[in-house]
Amino acid sequence: MAAFRRRTQLFQLISAVAAFCLLLLFFSSSRDAVPRREFQYVKSSFDWSTLAQQYPVTNLKPLPRGRPRKLPKVQHNFASDAKITPERAEILEDRQRQVGEAFLKSWNSYKKHAWMHDELAPVTGESRDPLGGWAATLVDSLDTLWVMGLEEEFYEAVAAVVTIDWSITKETSCNFFETTTRHLGGLLSAYDLSHEPVLLKKAVELGDMLYAAFDTPNRMPPFWLDFDKAKRGLLQAGDHDPSASVASSSLEFTRLAQLTKDNKYYDAIDRVTRLLEQTQNITKLPGMWPTFFDMKIDIENPEGPNSFTSDGSFTLGAQADSLYESLPKMHAMIGGLDPVYETLYRGAMDAVTENLLFRPMLPGHDDILFTGTISVLGESRKLDPEGQHLSCFVGGMYGLGGRLFNIPEHVKFGERLARGCFWAYDSFATGLMPEIFVMAPCPGLEPCPWHKERWKPEEEGLREGFKNARDPRYMLRPEAIESIFLMYRITGKTEYQEMAWKMFQAVRKATETDLAFSAIKDVKAKGETSKSNSMQSFWLAGTLKYFFLTFSSPDLINLDQYVLNTEAHPFKRP
């Protein structure tokens, strides 16, 4: 799209010398080597790299050595497909344009009403700071600006980002996971795409602050990074922390280590990975880990009494999601040089496939899947067929794992899961999926007879198959379109583009405000929706980016060249 993507222009070759010169010109002016800009860089007032650690590491675990393995291709070979017609190209360009317009509307309102704050309140125009006041929407959106070709806006945003002082906040602590995935991930991704050195400098500043979270007696990070305790060497790991929050920072710290050649970042997250490896098969559901972790665990004796051996709740939804999501992505991020991530993925997905996936009982026998929550008590395992928007990432995860580890049936599972989330979107009056819902499951993953008497809906007006929409909100989340995008890029099936377009139209219609777009309170609403005045940064960082990429040329963020973190930030693969 001319309006949203810069394209390098090559002049007609006149001679061999001219061709050589033009080739040099191409490499010096391409998106991988953009002209350098001058920025008024502001160094944070406290340098965390100078802080002496209370529990220092004597022998750092280095990044895996050696030449990255040649991994199986993730992305479909689009070059082998029939060339798209001019009419189809025009349709896709128009869809991309409309997504870009939604992004610009949101971005411009953020600039006008909430610049340098974390979020815009999209109904009232107020600013909010739930994430430390470090301009979360701005930092989170950097790579989306680049992907959409919004060069002027990108460099304006960079100029603002490099003035952030990570030591200036009204908070006494920060959420370790959110700050890592949104802020650190956003900076690293923007650097990988633009190669602006100042972005890496800012990422290192933040990385050093977040690295302090690992300075605990057993080197396990807490949920909250308390600044004062960290400076005094008093941090302790938590005893009931969401597993996703304390075990999902591997991509960001690995990429930071790769870019800086400083192994301390990789050493920090590798210790968490080794804990996962040690405990994977001693839990009440071998292969998976419980939803909450006691991170004060004695890592020398992981089989002793602790949360890993005693807790019985297992899910791919809220509190646990990105732990599992990161496993195949880390395999790609380190070029397959450590077999641990394949081992963890295969073990976890064997358990998920056998215990958590369910096919809903439906009158039309639609071939779709969802993932629920399972409780283990003694020898009994009870499945709660509760679907979550947050768990809609699972389809894409199965697809990635299926390709990277050559497991064709996982790609098929991924398709059925992605289609399930689209089906759920299409089942409500707004065309949007609720945050949480419950269905009536089949006994297995194959078709089962429809028994209306077993359905027993708890609310009126629900599509057959749904028992309730326990949390009817739609929060502008990216997980469903993430899986639709990934399955399109993995399979090449254009039907996923059509699903995406229907979803985008529904999102825009139900959530648009005068200023931007807002989460809504009830996806069952007929007519005007009730807005909750919330627009989290992932709307610009993830949801709109995935919509845009679904309609883009497949070479834009090619899945064989990039890994996208849980906040949709693309990192360059080695």
User: Read out DSSP for 88-100?
Assistant: HHHHHHHHHHHHH
Q: Phi and psi dihedrals of 436, rounded to 5?
A: -145, 140
How many Cα atoms occupy the beta-carbon half-sphere of 343 within 13 Å? Answer: 12
Distance CA 143, CA 193 (A): 7
- Which residue do the tokens 């650097």 mark? 191
Asked if residues 480 and 441 have their Cβ atoms less than 8 Å apart, the reply is no
Residue percentage of the chain with pLDDT more than 90: 91
Sort 212 into a burial class: Cβ within 10 Å, 0-12 / 13-18 / 19+.
buried
How, if at all, do strands 241-242 and 292-293 pair?
Answer: antiparallel
Distance CA 240, CA 293 (A): 5
pLDDT-based confidence at residue 38 (cuts at 50, 70, 90): confident
Least confident of 3-12, 34-43, 439-448: 3-12
Q: Which of 192, 325, 479, 522 is catalytic?
A: 479
pLDDT tens digits along 148-188: 999 999 999 999 999 999 999 999 999 999 999 999 999 99
Residues 92-114 have a mean pLDDT of 98
Residue percentage of the chain with pLDDT more than 70: 94
pLDDT tens digits along 358-394: 999 999 999 999 999 999 999 899 999 999 999 999 9
Model pLDDT, residue 32: 45
For the cut 60, the answer to whether the pLDDT of residue 23 exceeds it is no
| Non-local CB neighbours of 242 within 8 Å, separated by 6+ positions | 177, 223, 291, 292, 293, 318, 319, 320
**With the C-alpha atoms ordered 527, 528, 534, 537, is the resulting torsion angle positive or negative?**
positive
Q: Which of 196, 208, 270, 435 is catalytic?
A: 435
> From the annotation, which residues make up the binding site for Ca(2+)?
566
Orientation of helix 495-511 relative to helix 479-491, angle to 10°: 160
Asked if residues 492 and 76 have their Cβ atoms less than 8 Å apart, the reply is yes
The strand order across the sheet containing 386-388 reads 386-388, 436-439, 466-471
Q: Which of 178, 239, 277, 367 is catalytic?
A: 178
For the cut 90, the answer to whether the pLDDT of residue 473 exceeds it is yes
Model pLDDT, residue 36: 59
Q: Which of 140, 321, 325, 386 is catalytic?
A: 321
Distance CA 346, CA 355 (A): 14
Residues 550-567 have a mean pLDDT of 98
Q: Which two tokens stand for residue 459?
A: 């609310």
pTM higher than 0.85: yes
Distance CA 494, CA 484 (A): 11
- Is 178 one of the catalytic residues? yes
Least confident of 18-32, 416-430, 552-566: 18-32
Residues 52-64 have a mean pLDDT of 96
Residues 280-296 have a mean pLDDT of 97
Asked if residues 184 and 207 have their Cβ atoms less than 8 Å apart, the reply is yes
Residues 343-371 have a mean pLDDT of 98
At 529 the three-state DSSP class reads coil
How many Cα atoms occupy the beta-carbon half-sphere of 136 within 13 Å? Answer: 25
pLDDT-based confidence at residue 119 (cuts at 50, 70, 90): very high
Give the count of beta carbons closer than 10 Å to the beta carbon of residue 241. Answer: 24
Distance CA 530, CA 510 (A): 9
For the cut 90, the answer to whether the pLDDT of residue 306 exceeds it is no
Distance CA 342, CA 59 (A): 25
For the cut 80, the answer to whether the pLDDT of residue 30 exceeds it is no
Q: Which two tokens stand for residue 424?
A: 């759920």
For the cut 70, the answer to whether the pLDDT of residue 25 exceeds it is no
Q: Phi and psi dihedrals of 280, rounded to 5?
A: -55, -40
Alpha helices in 356-494 (DSSP H): 394-404, 408-425, 452-455, 479-491
